[in-house]
Amino acid sequence: MLKDIAYNEMSKEMLEQLQKGAFLTVKGNDEMNTMTIGWGSIGFIWNKPIFMVAVRYSRYTYELLEKTDEFTVSVPLSKDMKKELAICGTKSKREIDKFKECNLTAEKGKAVDTPIIGECELHYECKVVYKQAMEPGTIDKNIRDSKYSNNDFHVLYYGEIVASYIKE
């Protein structure tokens, strides 16, 4: 059963797990992919609840996000999904079918066409309302040197949270 929650009701749990990994899923045209994210934020911007995710240009997910205006974030809370998160964070859809390789279930969500990861308990469904390419010259030098030495920068996607719920 899917129980609706306020977008910020489980933000503490989400942010703690995000540092260990969560699944960002995108469906563009008839293609679908999930990847591990370890960075992101929940906030309130433009009078809307927002989930901001960062996706590098080199990721297959970036290609799909450019074809659609939505994404989901699925967060494992009680299950140890380290193996699945490791595979989805290091392998590309260009190489393997991550859903098959990790035995992940793409389940229909509530508000968007992009599925959620059935094995996770906490879910956010988002509609992209803004995207911003990082401006390399404005990044703190220490961050740039440590995170972007190969110049593989992120695009920041701001998704209005149109549904948030836990799977019971």
The Cα–Cα gap between 42 and 125 comes to 12
Rounded to 5 degrees, φ, ψ at 54 are -115, 125
Q: Give 166's strand partners.
A: 3, 122
The Cα–Cα gap between 151 and 68 comes to 25
What does the pLDDT read at residue 22? 96
Task: Extract the tokens encoding 53.
Answer: 């995710």
What does the pLDDT read at residue 31? 87
Mean pLDDT of the chain, nearest integer: 92
What does the pLDDT read at residue 52? 97
The Cα–Cα gap between 75 and 97 comes to 20
Is 65 in a helix, a strand, or coil?
A: helix
Residues of the chain with pLDDT under 50: none
**For 2-167, CATH number?**
2.30.110.10
What does the pLDDT read at residue 124? 98
What does the pLDDT read at residue 166? 96
What does the pLDDT read at residue 95? 79
Q: Of 109, 153, 115, which Cα lies nearest the Cα of 131?
A: 153
Q: Where are the domains of the chain?
A: 2-167
What does the pLDDT read at residue 87? 84
**DSSP 8-class letter at 110:** S
Residues 61-88 pLDDT 10s: 898 999 999 999 999 998 889 999 988 8
